[in-house]
C-alpha cells in the first residue's frame, strides 16, 4: 500500500494555471495564425516544405502541441514540488523508534485484570522496554482527558522504566485518544528513523480531539499506530461503581488499520505480553520518501528539452 501526501497542500490551488495556459496557447495560436495568413510568402513556404508537405509535419508545426505538452508538464512539476509531495509506503526497516502511549484515565482501574488494567499495562510495558534492542529509542505519553508528554525519545531504558512505574491515574476526566496520538507523533518527529506508536487503552474516546484528526496527523507524518485493547470481553467495574467499562474495539481497529499498524486484543496479562512481543518483532514499517527534489529535476530537464526544440525543430524563421 502506498499513497502520496502533501506537506503544503495549499499550493495545489496553483494547478488552476494549467487549464489557463492551455486556453491562452490556443487563443494566441488563433491570433497569430490570422496575422500569418495576412503576411505569408507562399512561394517561400513551398520551397521550404516542398510541393506536398506531410499532414503530420503541418499539424505539429502549426499547432505546437508538443511544446504545449512540455510547458504543461513543467508547470505541473514545479507546482507539485512546492506543494511538498511525500510518498508513504511500507518497507523493511532495520531500526525504528517507539512512543508508548498509556491510558491513565479512571476506566483503566477496571477490575477485569488483577489487580486492575492500569497496573498490568505498566508492568508489561516495562517488560517490553527490557526486550527491545539498545539502538531503539523510546518516548512516553500518558493520557486521560488531556495528553501528557512524560518522556522525549531516549535510549536510556532505566529512565523510561522508572517513569512508567511512577505513573498514576490522571485526575482530568475522560479519554482523549486523538490528543494522545498527536502528542506521540510530535515526540517521534525529532528523529528520522521509522516511527511507531504503541497505544495501550480500553479504547473509548470520550472527550477532546477527534480520533480521525489524530489518524490523519499520524498518516501525514508516516507514523504507524499499534493499538492494544486492555480489557476483557465482559468488561470490569472501577471506583466501586456498578457501571462496567467495556472495550471499544471498533475505534482501536480503525486507528491501526488506517495508519498501517495492527490491533491486538489483550484479555489477560499473558495476551498483553504476547501483543508486545509481536510488535517488537514487526519489520514492516511505514517509510516515507520526499519527492520535492525529483520534481524539481524533472522541471529543469523539461525546460532544457523545450529550449532544444525551440532552437531546432520549432525554430522561428527570421
Tens of pLDDT, residues 88-143: 776 545 467 899 999 998 888 888 888 888 999 999 999 988 887 667 889 999 99
Task: Please compute the mean of the pLDDT values over residues 161-170 and round it to a whole number.
Answer: 94
315 within domain boundaries = no
Q: Write 33-38 long-range contacts (CB < 8 A, 24+).
A: 33/62
Q: Is a pLDDT exceeding 70 seen at residue 42? A: no
Q: Is a pLDDT exceeding 50 seen at residue 236? A: yes
| pLDDT for 140 | 96
Are residues 112 and 260 located together in one domain of the fold? yes
Are residues 159 and 14 located together in one domain of the fold? no
Contact 223, 188 (CB under 8 A): yes
Are residues 110 and 59 located together in one domain of the fold? no
90 within domain boundaries = no
The Cα–Cα gap between 3 and 65 comes to 31
| pLDDT for 58 | 43
Give the number of other Cβ atoms within 10 Å of residue 277's Cβ.
Answer: 12
Domain range spanning residue 114? 95-284
316 within domain boundaries = no
Q: Indicate which CATH number applies to the domain containing 208.
A: 3.40.50.410
| pLDDT for 237 | 65
Are residues 121 and 63 located together in one domain of the fold? no
| pLDDT for 228 | 95
- Grade residue 245 by pLDDT with cuts at 50, 70 and 90: low
| pLDDT for 78 | 92
Q: What's the total number of domains in the chain? A: 2
125 within domain boundaries = yes
| pLDDT for 41 | 53
Are residues 272 and 147 located together in one domain of the fold? yes
| pLDDT for 46 | 56
| pLDDT for 55 | 43
Tens of pLDDT, residues 174-212: 889 999 999 999 999 987 788 899 999 987 788 889 999
| pLDDT for 139 | 95
89 within domain boundaries = no
Tens of pLDDT, residues 28-38: 777 665 555 55
170 within domain boundaries = yes
Contact 152, 146 (CB under 8 A): no
246 within domain boundaries = yes
- What whole-number percentage of the chain has pLDDT above 90? 41
The three three-digit cell numbers of residue 155, written as one number: 535510549
| pLDDT for 314 | 66
| pLDDT for 26 | 79
Are residues 132 and 273 located together in one domain of the fold? yes
317 within domain boundaries = no
Are residues 14 and 58 located together in one domain of the fold? yes
Are residues 174 and 204 located together in one domain of the fold? yes
Contact 177, 203 (CB under 8 A): yes
Q: Nearest-CA neighbor of 200 among 128, 111, 292, 291?
A: 128
| Predicted TM-score (pTM) of this structure | 0.61
Are residues 295 and 280 located together in one domain of the fold? no
| pLDDT for 284 | 54
Rg from Cα positions in the chain: 30
Are residues 40 and 75 located together in one domain of the fold? yes
Are residues 43 and 102 located together in one domain of the fold? no
Q: Is 191 exposed, middle or buried (0-12, 13-18, 19+ CB in 10 A)?
A: middle
- Grade residue 241 by pLDDT with cuts at 50, 70 and 90: low
Give the ranges where the chain is alpha helix by DSSP (H): 17-38, 42-49, 55-63, 65-82, 117-131, 157-165, 177-188, 211-220, 249-259, 269-280, 292-310
Q: Is a pLDDT exceeding 90 seen at residue 282? A: no
Where do we find the cell 485526575? 171
Are residues 262 and 160 located together in one domain of the fold? yes
The three three-digit cell numbers of residue 52, written as one number: 506536398
Where do we find the cell 512540455? 70
Tens of pLDDT, residues 54-63: 444 444 444 5
The Cα–Cα gap between 318 and 302 comes to 25
Amino acid at each position: 500500500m502506498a499513497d502520496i501526501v502533501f506537506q503544503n497542500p495549499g499550493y495545489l490551488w496553483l494547478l488552476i494555471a494549467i487549464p489557463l495556459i492551455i486556453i491562452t496557447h490556443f487563443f494566441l495560436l488563433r491570433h497569430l495564425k490570422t496575422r500569418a495568413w495576412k503576411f505569408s510568402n507562399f512561394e517561400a513556404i513551398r520551397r521550404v516544405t516542398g510541393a506536398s508537405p506531410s499532414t503530420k509535419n503541418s499539424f505539429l508545426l502549426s499547432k505546437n502541441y508538443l511544446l504545449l505538452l512540455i510547458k504543461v508538464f513543467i508547470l505541473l512539476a514545479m507546482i507539485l514540488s512546492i506543494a511538498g509531495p511525500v510518498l508513504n509506503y511500507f518497507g523493511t526497516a532495520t531500526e525504528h523508534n517507539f512512543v508508548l502511549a498509556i491510558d491513565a484515565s479512571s476506566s483503566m482501574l477496571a477490575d477485569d485484570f488483577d489487580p486492575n488494567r492500569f497496573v498490568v499495562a505498566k508492568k508489561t510495558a516495562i517488560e517490553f522496554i527490557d526486550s527491545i534492542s539498545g539502538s531503539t529509542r523510546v518516548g512516553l505519553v500518558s493520557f486521560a482527558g488531556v495528553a501528557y508528554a512524560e518522556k522525549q525519545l531516549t535510549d536510556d531504558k532505566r529512565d523510561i522504566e522508572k517513569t512508567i512505574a511512577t505513573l498514576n491515574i490522571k485526575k482530568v476526566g475522560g479519554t482523549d485518544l486523538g490528543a494522545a496520538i498527536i502528542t506521540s507523533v510530535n515526540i517521534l518527529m525529532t528523529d528520522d528513523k521509522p516511527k511507531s506508536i504503541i497505544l495501550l487503552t480500553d479504547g473509548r474516546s470520550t472527550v477532546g480531539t477527534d480520533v480521525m484528526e489524530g489518524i490523519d496527523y499520524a498518516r501525514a507524518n508516516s507514523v504507524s499506530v499499534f493499538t492494544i485493547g486492555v480489557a476483557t470481553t465482559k468488561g470490569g467495574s472501577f471506583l466501586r461503581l456498578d457501571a462496567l467499562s467495556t472495550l471499544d474495539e471498533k475505534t482501536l481497529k480503525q486507528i491501526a488499520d488506517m495508519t498501517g499498524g495492527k490491533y491486538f486484543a489483550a484479555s489477560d496479562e499473558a495476551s498483553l505480553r504476547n501483543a508486545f512481543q509481536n510488535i517488537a518483532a514487526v519489520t514492516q514499517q511505514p517509510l516515507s520518501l520526499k519527492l520535492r527534489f525529483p520534481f524539481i529535476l524533472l522541471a529543469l530537464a523539461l525546460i532544457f528539452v523545450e529550449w532544444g526544440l525551440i532552437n531546432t525543430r520549432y525554430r522561428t524563421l527570421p
